[in-house]
Amino acid sequence: MHLSHLVPAAPAPRLARFTVSVIAVAVLAACGGGGSDDDDRVTLKPNRAPFPLVEATIESFHTAMQSGDVSCRDIVQGYLDRIAAYDNEPSAAFPNSPALRSVITTSPTALAQADAMDAEFFGKGRMVGPMHCVPVLAKDNYDTADMKTTGGSLALANNQPPDDAYTIRRLREAGAIIIGKANMDEFAFGFTGSSALGGKTRNAYIAVNSAGGSSSGTGTAIAANLAMVGLGTDTGGSIRVPAAVEGLYGLRPSLRLVSQDGILPLAHGQDTGGPLCRAVRDCALTMDALVGFDPSPFSGQRIAKAWDSPLVPSAAAYATMVSLPTTYTASLRTDGLVGARIGVVRSMFPNRTTANAAFLDALNGALDQMRAAGAIVEDTDIANRATVLTSYASLSTYQFRDDLTAYLTSWSSAVDNHLRSTEAVGDALATLEPTRVANFRTYITAGTNKESNPTYQNNLTPRDEYVIPRVTAALNNVDFATGATRGAAYDVLVYPVLQGFNSLSVNSGSNNRLSPFTGFPAMAIPVGFIKATATSPSVEPVGLEMIAREFSEPTLFRLAAGWERTTMPRVTSPLAPELARPAAPAASASR
């Protein structure tokens, strides 16, 4: 829950939108389409072979289900088995587990939900929605009524919101099953991928390397095929960085497009949720479910980007503002790069060295592939780029204190006895996590009386007025100083997500700031899996980032789909191969 300036002195209990006691009922009530005639029913095959989960997509799963080759229970149980095999510490059952530590908890109701969906599909011939039975791992800062929301912290270990985040509810209505909660940088503070509750997440390609952050658990889990799609949040790079180091597509949507309601906050002026996926279509389907008008005062959906702008008044006004397409999947085109205009911001690339030569070769090779696929790829720049990226600060330093208190006071603590202020959390951390409390208290200090802090004030409207016109001019391909046209406008600007190969820690530089500082959407795309050294037996992913104009997510999906069609196949995680599983028993077909 966000936006502390809107929280009344005595906050009322927030609306219980999707409590665990009605999850199954609400899922079934949402069923539609497909009819219920006997002719529409699919017969689930007895003794069917296990459905392969490594690199599975929503489309491949639904195709197999419609042929009777897999059930919802099969899929959910299969991912739970993979989490047990690859995410936990080695055990007698799984002595060779890489202990990825990407999942904090799994859902106690996931299998029951799967059985209810199987009863609908195989019993009545209808799907719940376009994400029927898609197992989703949500970063552990999304509220879930059937699982605690901890932010990775011992201080919030018993934090049980009474309802789902708006986005979680939307996903469930589309048929998704929230299979668990993913590990993260505690309170989403950085890029180390570590929390007190979950430990340090390991990379799905080279375990000792960084998993990025703060959506580290989501990135590793999706790269290791522990769920079909994942949810992250991004304040200053926290979707795009783990996507880059895990070889995934990761979208940071436009600010105001996705509701912030029910997401444990870092900074309401920059926070947004978004998907991480192995396939572009899976991200598009997930976004179709995530977007929508949320009347909650905590939604962050405002008529202008300014943090104090009035809320969008209606669903119609929201749809007009964001130019919402019917579906983002309609934007997907295998020829999406044909005629696309791509501006390459060369000044955001690192200087070439012996150490990063292979990294830069991968990036430049991807640009050559885009040209070969029909894109117009030209070098460009952003006026005053260094000032745009380095002379301003993230709002998280200043907004976290008030935003966390607003979130914690948005529901009663009578049932879960959760802490109700940022200061109370800091006091608890002094005992529970004394090595982390100093960093936490810096946020309390910076957020106290922030309205009188000139540095904070400079990072509100002055930052917008400086950064947004310069990035817009680059996208429009006009000279910022004179307004003279330099050529046809670009669809996107591209630049590296990172400044070099991943290792024990990531070098994200300042490129990650461009999207949150403008509010424009940005997508990380995998452009290569290459060896960091000539003698290395393992590969590391390399990622480019594309930024587009506000609410131009369809453009990003169109180009990403074209790129996916053009590029090399994904390299699967060497740490989490397909599990050997027995064929499904005949009895399961009668569920």
Q: Please identify which of the residues 4, 153, 214, 573 carries the catalytic annotation.
A: 214
Is 591 a residue whose pLDDT tops 50? no
> Would residue 71 show up in a list of annotated catalytic residues for this protein?
no
Q: Across residues 173-178, what is the average pLDDT?
A: 98
Separation of alpha carbons 23 and 37, rounded Å: 25
The residue with greater pLDDT, 36 or 63, is 63
Burial grade of 375 (CB within 10 A; 0-12, 13-18, 19 or more): buried
Element (H, E) at 76: helix 72-86
449 vs 151, 189, 319, 357, 397, CA distance in Å?
Answer: 25, 21, 36, 47, 12
Separation of alpha carbons 549 and 316, rounded Å: 21
Q: Which of 235, 216, 214 is nearest to 224 (CA)?
A: 216
- What the block records as the tokens of 76 is 């959910």
Cis peptide before 214 (omega within 30 of 0): yes
Separation of alpha carbons 461 and 308, rounded Å: 10
Separation of alpha carbons 163 and 159, rounded Å: 12
pLDDT, residue 5, reads 26
Separation of alpha carbons 393 and 382, rounded Å: 18
The residue with greater pLDDT, 14 or 458, is 458
pLDDT bracket for residue 39 (50, 70, 90): low
pLDDT, residue 586, reads 55
Half-sphere exposure of 214 (CA within 13 A, CB side): 23
Name every residue whose Cβ is closer than 8 Å to that of residue 191 and which is 6 or more positions away in sequence: 185, 210, 212, 213, 214, 237, 238, 241, 505, 506, 508
Tell whether 4 is covered by a domain. Answer: no
Q: Which residues on neighbouring strands pair with residue 103, listed in sequence order?
A: 182
The answer to whether 506 touches 170, Cβ cutoff 8 Å, is no
Query: Which one-letter amino acid corresponds to residue 269?
Result: G
> Would residue 238 show up in a list of annotated catalytic residues for this protein?
yes
Tell whether 421 is covered by a domain. Answer: yes
pLDDT, residue 505, reads 81
Is 332 a residue whose pLDDT tops 60? yes
Q: What is the pLDDT of residues 422-453, one digit of tens each?
A: 999 999 999 999 988 888 999 999 999 999 99
In the chain, how many domains are there? Answer: 1
For residue 462, the enclosing domain spans 51-590
**Summary mean pLDDT of the chain:** 91
Q: Please identify which of the residues 71, 102, 107, 139 carries the catalytic annotation.
A: 139
Dihedral sign of CA atoms 31, 36, 39, 45 in order: positive
Percentage with pLDDT > 90 across the chain? 83
pLDDT, residue 590, reads 38
- What the block records as the tokens of 348 is 């955001």
Distance in angstroms between the alpha carbons of the first and the last residue of the chain: 39
pLDDT, residue 35, reads 43
Tell whether 287 is covered by a domain. Answer: yes
38-47, 196-205, 554-563: segment of lowest average pLDDT: 38-47
Q: Please identify which of the residues 153, 195, 238, 259 carries the catalytic annotation.
A: 238
CATH number at residue 328: 3.90.1300.10
pLDDT, residue 9, reads 30
Query: Which one-letter amino acid corresponds to residue 321?
Result: M
pLDDT, residue 34, reads 41
Q: Residue 540, SS3?
A: strand
344 vs 364, 378, 497, 558, 562, CA distance in Å?
Answer: 10, 6, 13, 18, 17
pLDDT, residue 530, reads 87
Is 276 a residue whose pLDDT tops 80? yes
pLDDT bracket for residue 532 (50, 70, 90): low
pLDDT, residue 587, reads 45
Whether this model's pTM surpasses 0.75: yes
pLDDT, residue 436, reads 84
Q: What is the pLDDT of residues 80-126, one digit of tens each?
A: 999 999 999 999 999 999 999 999 999 999 999 999 999 999 999 99
Q: Which of 13, 23, 272 is nearest to 169 (CA)?
A: 23
Separation of alpha carbons 42 and 25, rounded Å: 22
Q: What is the pLDDT of residues 352-399, one digit of tens each?
A: 998 889 899 999 999 999 999 999 999 999 999 999 999 999 999 999
Is 13 a residue whose pLDDT tops 90? no
Q: Which of 371, 53, 407, 486 is nearest to 228 (CA)?
A: 53
Name the packing angle between helices 280-290 and 58-66 (round to 10°). 90
> Would residue 139 show up in a list of annotated catalytic residues for this protein?
yes
Name every residue whose Cβ is closer than 8 Å to that of residue 140 and which is 6 or more positions away in sequence: 104, 105, 149, 150, 151, 152, 181, 182, 183, 184, 197, 198, 217
